[in-house]
Amino acid sequence: MAATRVTIHAVGHGGEGIGRAQGEGADTRVWFVEGGLPGDVLLCEPQQVKARMIRGHLQTVLEASPMRQEAPCALAGTCGGCGWQHVRPEAQAGLKAQIVDDLARKLGVTVTTIVPSPAALGYRRRARIHFEQGREGLQLGFFGRGGHAVIDAPACPILDAPLRHALARFRRLARALPVRGELHGLSDGRRAILGIAAEAELGGQLVKLPMLGGEGASLRLKLEALLDAVLVGIVVAGPRSDLGVGLATLELDAAGPEDMSVRTGPFGFAQAQAAQNAALVAHVLGRAGGDPPPRRCLELFAGAGNFTRGLSRLVDELTAVETETRAVSSLKQLAARIGVQGGAKVLVQREPAAAALARAAAAGQRFELVVLDPPRAGLGAGPARDLARVASGRTIYVACDPATMMRDLAVMTAMGHRVVELAAFDMMPMTPEVEVVAVLAAGSGAAA
């Protein structure tokens, strides 16, 4: 099959352009082209041909979409860290909302709120970085497109200044580093901490990583030599315990003296940027109240307490469920601070969300408010059914993967819940990633 002229009319989940071949007698199958944008006319080479679709490689942009720009990063063609460097920043939030709309069509709902990012570059405060010792020395950056070779990124433009500084300092440790490994970075906008992982996911498998050279005191001295006013802590994850120098956690997202910060470390979860996270939290809390206000709240995948802080001011009883060890520790500390400040009684449960939902459903428990922020895998059919049973009022579902969210929402709507609002947040510009918030209301038969 020869190279084909393809007109792109949409983008799909994952960011690929979707289009069809042009011309009389052209193949009617749908084309999926990485790097394609609505309005583009492209010359594409077919790479994968199936009964109903063709996956193509972009050879030449014949006519450029108004959304297209020159990539601001020189590594855009090889680095896998960003997939949308070719998209104008002002167009990205709208495109992401279109992706969500397409996935939500079967539910009969559309995005009603779109929140663009205030910055397209220099925004990212949390990142997972890979390193590899190669012929040209240390390669420190993201995996390349379509593989696990590390692309060296000495000045990544999407990272904030403290993270870029911390990674530059980390390069001084090159001689003590193993052949390959994984680094987690976290910034509060002024300072940064790094975590050197003990294991990583490669090709869908969790693999053990070799540790740093040096033992005990000698390794500690090497790490301490890297610390300065910006890089204020390094944590090395060990098989039984962590080795750390400087700070192990940072205080994030305090909106003012009345708002408690979230305390988390490099291996904990935090949203990629501070400004959009503040907008996200405000949006969720704005939908969490009511008249009368909810009395009991169940928070699933609570993490270190990103939503817990504000939810505790809206309800009488809050059950926060989390499994990750470090997050549970931070959550318990936060619960203690909430108690001191006279907030709601916060019960921290360390167990999987699916188990908590199954137990609550079996016991006939009901919650006027449920808030959840699951990882990409979402809930799944069984836990979604249990969620529909225990949620007697409002459910606020926050997701980083709209496809798994829509799967779960389909289960809930089939059991009487109704999606009343859908919002899209551009949390990670220069990538096709989108953060989605769905608000659901329970119907009269929803808890049956």
Q: Are residues 181 and 212 in the same domain?
A: yes
- For 23, other C-beta atoms within 10 Å of its C-beta total 8
| Predicted confidence (pLDDT) at residue 239 exceeds the cutoff of 80 | no
Find the CATH number of the domain harbouring 11. Answer: 2.40.50.140
Residue 13 is assigned to a structural domain of this protein: yes
Q: DSSP label at 350?
A: E
Q: Are residues 395 and 413 in the same domain?
A: yes
| Predicted confidence (pLDDT) at residue 447 exceeds the cutoff of 50 | no
Chain centroid offset of residue 148 CA: 20
Q: In the prediction, which pLDDT does 22 show?
A: 86
Q: Are residues 319 and 300 in the same domain?
A: yes
Q: Which domain holds residue 56?
A: 4-68
Cβ–Cβ under 8 Å, residues 67 and 90: no
Strand ranges for 314-416 from DSSP E: 317-322, 345-350, 367-372, 391-399
Q: Are residues 297 and 347 in the same domain?
A: yes
- Provide the whole-model pTM: 0.92
Cβ–Cβ under 8 Å, residues 57 and 45: yes
| Predicted confidence (pLDDT) at residue 347 exceeds the cutoff of 70 | yes
Residue 86 is assigned to a structural domain of this protein: no
Distances in Å between the Cα of 4 and the Cα atoms of 26, 77, 108, 396, 433 are 9, 21, 35, 45, 29
Residues 284 and 306: their CA atoms lie apart, in Å, by 11
Q: Are residues 40 and 173 in the same domain?
A: no
Q: Are residues 185 and 201 in the same domain?
A: yes
Find the CATH number of the domain harbouring 247. Answer: 2.40.50.1070
Residues 303 and 140: their CA atoms lie apart, in Å, by 28
pLDDT by residue (tens digit) across 41-74?
A: 999 999 999 999 999 999 999 999 999 999 999 9
Q: Are residues 111 and 138 in the same domain?
A: no
Mean pLDDT of 269-291: 94
Residue 58 is assigned to a structural domain of this protein: yes
pLDDT by residue (tens digit) across 422-439?
A: 999 999 999 999 999 999
Residue 421 is assigned to a structural domain of this protein: yes
Cβ–Cβ under 8 Å, residues 29 and 53: yes
Lowest-pLDDT range of 125-139, 142-156, 245-259, 389-403: 245-259
Nearest to 253 by CA among 244, 238, 264: 264
What value does the mean pLDDT of the chain take?
Answer: 91
Residue 261 is assigned to a structural domain of this protein: no
Number of domains into which the chain is organized:
3
| Predicted confidence (pLDDT) at residue 114 exceeds the cutoff of 50 | yes
Q: Are residues 435 and 307 in the same domain?
A: yes
Q: Are residues 333 and 386 in the same domain?
A: yes
Residue 149 is assigned to a structural domain of this protein: yes
Residues 438 and 420: their CA atoms lie apart, in Å, by 8
Mean pLDDT of 374-392: 97
| Predicted confidence (pLDDT) at residue 215 exceeds the cutoff of 80 | no
Residue 175 is assigned to a structural domain of this protein: yes
Find the CATH number of the domain harbouring 428. Answer: 3.40.50.150
| Predicted confidence (pLDDT) at residue 275 exceeds the cutoff of 90 | yes
Backbone dihedral angles phi then psi of residue 128, each to the nearest 5 degrees: -110, 120
Q: In the prediction, which pLDDT does 4 show?
A: 93
What's the helix, strand, coil split of the chain in %, to 5? 25, 35, 40
Q: Are residues 114 and 162 in the same domain?
A: no
Residue 207 is assigned to a structural domain of this protein: yes
Q: Are residues 327 and 378 in the same domain?
A: yes
Q: Are residues 175 and 148 in the same domain?
A: yes
